[in-house]
């Protein structure tokens, strides 16, 4: 009997897989913190014989090269991917024996990237699972615009053809096990559900139910901005990522934190948005450790800018380090843990700002208060419905556009509160008076605050 274990990297919306038999296994699209994979293999009592990549990833730093070094596994990478390290080049139709009666076959599926390759797990001659990477996802496909703008339409057409190849060559019961699509921005649209098969995708995936022209036009029209850090992930992965260093950063006191802020460095407070709003060091930014820390910090921070982390505990700091190395933020310049009062320079005071719900915003507007409503959702979220009279600057653009926010008290909202908290901290760091609307957008609708795009 074969097994497939899923390793979630929830913050990035990705999955990696450990699959094998009684003695040996293969790892597909491993995360950078490879000790998780090693522990999973040890728990199964199997040796990792192969590490495979479906493509050179644009959304995270792979652990494939380091995992192959640690375990002695053969490192399989699509042959047409340009890389600077030794690997076993894989072409369409190549097959390797994973365990007794269990093999892995490469199936070329260009589209997400030109060299993208899926891998089909075969038990006793019958296909049982397909590791589809960024090709066929749950109800959608991987986006085709991460390589080169001039190739986007061509890759979208290839993505359609690859989906049809998978559906045409595999029977309905084959499990579809994608890497992307669980909140990853590598997905061309948000995937629904947690598990699928070729048969389910055959009837529910646009790539398999629409003709190619309709599919491509619809996909290209729906593509949103790419996280800025994606531009750095592909080159890092092609060069061969270095081993990670997760030892604790050097401790900083209040004086050093103040100096780093004065130098224009980023000091990031990892505590909850509730704790941050109640008291924080002036000039610091709030990216919750429990939120999409890696995605949004890597998206907003100028690449290479030194970052100091402030955490409630050593455990929170360690987990944040692990999250950040997955997107190439290698080592914090410094760090501090504990209470925010201990992060202050002598003589300084903590700053704070209010957190409210949409009902409170409605009351302020009804009173005629000096209110600027700032919507930091993405364009697609605002397209259907918005708060009447609101200003719109997507969160990922705000740091460069704070000068466009009108004068007045800024009441900032998103769809749920996390991004609003980040935005409020960015504006608060510039000395603006802010109020964070920490509420679900349904509450704005119920309060009668919203209008449709056509209104």
Q: Residues 188-206: what's their mean pLDDT?
A: 85
pLDDT, tens digit, 9 for 90 and up, residues 221-250: 999 899 999 999 999 999 999 999 999 999
Label the pairing between strands 450-452 and 334-337. Answer: unpaired
pLDDT band at 155 (very low <50, low <70, confident <90, very high): very high
Q: Residues 387-404: what's their mean pLDDT?
A: 96
> SS3 breakdown of the chain: % helix, strand, coil, rounded to 5?
35, 25, 40
Label the pairing between strands 409-413 and 371-375. Answer: parallel
* Residues 157/218, Cβ–Cβ less than 8 Å: no
Torsion of CA 188, 192, 196, 202, to 10 degrees: -60
53 Cα distance to chain centroid: 18
**Owner of token pair 């909850």:** 272
27 Cα distance to chain centroid: 20
What's the CA angle centered on 19, arms 17 and 21, to 5 degrees?
Answer: 165
Here the tokens at position 105 are 């076959």
Residue (of 351, 352, 371) closest to 411 by Cα position: 371
pLDDT, tens digit, 9 for 90 and up, residues 246-266: 999 999 999 999 999 999 999
* Residues 392/382, Cβ–Cβ less than 8 Å: yes
At residue 455, the pLDDT reads 57
Alpha helices in 301-390 (DSSP H): 314-325, 358-367, 379-384
Burial class (CB in 10 A: 0-12, 13-18, 19+), 290: middle
- Per-residue exposure over 35-69, b if at least 16 CB sit within 10 Å of its own CB, e if not: ebbbebbeebebebbbbbbbbbbbbbbbbbbbbbe
Label the pairing between strands 74-78 and 88-90. Answer: parallel
pLDDT, tens digit, 9 for 90 and up, residues 128-153: 999 999 999 999 999 999 999 999 99
At residue 454, the pLDDT reads 58
Label the pairing between strands 3-9 and 14-20. Answer: antiparallel
Residue (of 150, 155, 149, 116) closest to 132 by Cα position: 116
Q: Tell me the average pLDDT of the chain.
A: 95
In angstroms, rounded to a whole number, what is the distance separating the alpha carbons of residues 79 and 90? 5
What's the CA angle centered on 433, arms 431 and 436, to 5 degrees?
Answer: 115
Q: Residues 177-206: what's their mean pLDDT?
A: 85
At residue 191, the pLDDT reads 59
pLDDT, tens digit, 9 for 90 and up, residues 172-185: 999 999 999 888 78
Residue 109 has pLDDT above 90, yes or no: yes
At residue 183, the pLDDT reads 80
Q: Residues 47-71: what's their mean pLDDT?
A: 97
Q: CB within 8 A of 90, min separation 6: which ones?
A: 52, 76, 77, 78, 79, 106, 117
Q: Residues 61-74: what's their mean pLDDT?
A: 98
At residue 174, the pLDDT reads 98
At residue 187, the pLDDT reads 75
Residue 384 has pLDDT above 80, yes or no: yes
In angstroms, rounded to a whole number, what is the distance separating the alpha carbons of residues 304 and 133? 29
Label the pairing between strands 74-78 and 47-52. Answer: parallel
At residue 192, the pLDDT reads 63
Residue (of 131, 102, 96, 101) closest to 116 by Cα position: 131
Q: Residues 48-76: what's their mean pLDDT?
A: 97
Residue count (the chain): 455
Q: Residues 14-43: what's their mean pLDDT?
A: 97
At residue 185, the pLDDT reads 80
Half-sphere exposure of 403 (CA within 13 A, CB side): 1
In angstroms, rounded to a whole number, what is the distance separating the alpha carbons of residues 9 and 25? 20
Q: Residues 303-320: what's their mean pLDDT?
A: 97
* Residues 165/208, Cβ–Cβ less than 8 Å: no
Beta strands per DSSP E along 161-201: 175-178, 196-197
In angstroms, rounded to a whole number, what is the distance separating the alpha carbons of residues 77 and 150? 25
Q: What is the pTM of this model?
A: 0.93
At residue 291, the pLDDT reads 81
């Amino acid at each position: 009997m074969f097994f497939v274990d899923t390793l979630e990297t929830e913050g990035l919306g990705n999955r990696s897989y450990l699959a094998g038999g009684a003695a040996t296994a293969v790892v597909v699209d491993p995360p950078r913190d490879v000790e998780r994979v090693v522990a999973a293999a040890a728990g199964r009592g199997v040796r990792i014989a192969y590490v495979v990549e479906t493509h050179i990833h644009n959304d995270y730093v792979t652990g494939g090269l380091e995992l192959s070094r640690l375990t002695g596994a053969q490192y399989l990478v699509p042959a047409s991917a340009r890389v600077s390290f030794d690997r076993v080049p894989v072409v369409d139709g190549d097959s390797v024996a994973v365990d007794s009666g269990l093999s892995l076959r490469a199936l070329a599926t260009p589209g997400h990237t030109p060299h993208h390759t899926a891998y089909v797990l075969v038990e006793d001659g019958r296909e049982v699972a397909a590791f589809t990477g960024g090709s066929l996802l749950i109800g959608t496909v991987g986006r085709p615009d991460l390589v080169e703008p001039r190739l986007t339409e061509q890759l979208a057409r290839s993505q359609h053809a690859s989906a049809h190849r998978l559906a045409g060559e595999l029977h309905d019961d084959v499990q579809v096990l994608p890497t992307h699509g669980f909140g990853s921005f590598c997905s061309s649209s948000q995937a629904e559900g947690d598990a699928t098969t070729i048969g389910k995708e055959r009837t529910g995936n646009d790539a398999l139910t629409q003709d190619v022209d309709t599919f491509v036009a619809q996909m290209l029209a729906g593509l949103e901005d790419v996280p800025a850090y994606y531009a750095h992930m592909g080159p890092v992965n092609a060069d061969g990522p270095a081993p990670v260093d997760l030892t604790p950063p050097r401790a900083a006191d209040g004086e050093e934190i103040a100096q780093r802020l004065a130098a224009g460095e980023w000091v990031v407070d990892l505590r909850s948005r509730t704790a941050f709003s109640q008291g924080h060091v002036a000039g610091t930014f709030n990216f919750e450790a429990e939120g999409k820390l890696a995605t949004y910090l890597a998206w907003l921070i100028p690449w290479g800018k030194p970052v100091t982390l402030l955490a409630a505990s050593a455990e929170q700091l360690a987990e944040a380090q692990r999250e950040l190395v997955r997107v190439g933020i290698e080592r914090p310049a410094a760090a501090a843990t504990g209470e925010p009062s201990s992060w202050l320079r002598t003589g300084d005071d903590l700053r704070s700002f209010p957190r409210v719900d949409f009902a409170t915003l409605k009351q302020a507007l009804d009173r005629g208060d000096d209110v600027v409503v700032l919507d930091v959702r993405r364009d697609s979220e605002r397209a259907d419905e918005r708060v009447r009279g609101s200003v719109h600057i997507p969160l990922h653009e705000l740091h460069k556009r704070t000068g466009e926010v009108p004068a007045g008290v800024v009441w900032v909202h998103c769809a749920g509160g996390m991004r609003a908290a980040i935005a409020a901290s960015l504006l608060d760091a510039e000395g603006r008076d802010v109020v964070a609307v920490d509420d679900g957008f349904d509450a704005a609708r119920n309060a009668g605050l919203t209008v449709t795009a056509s209104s």
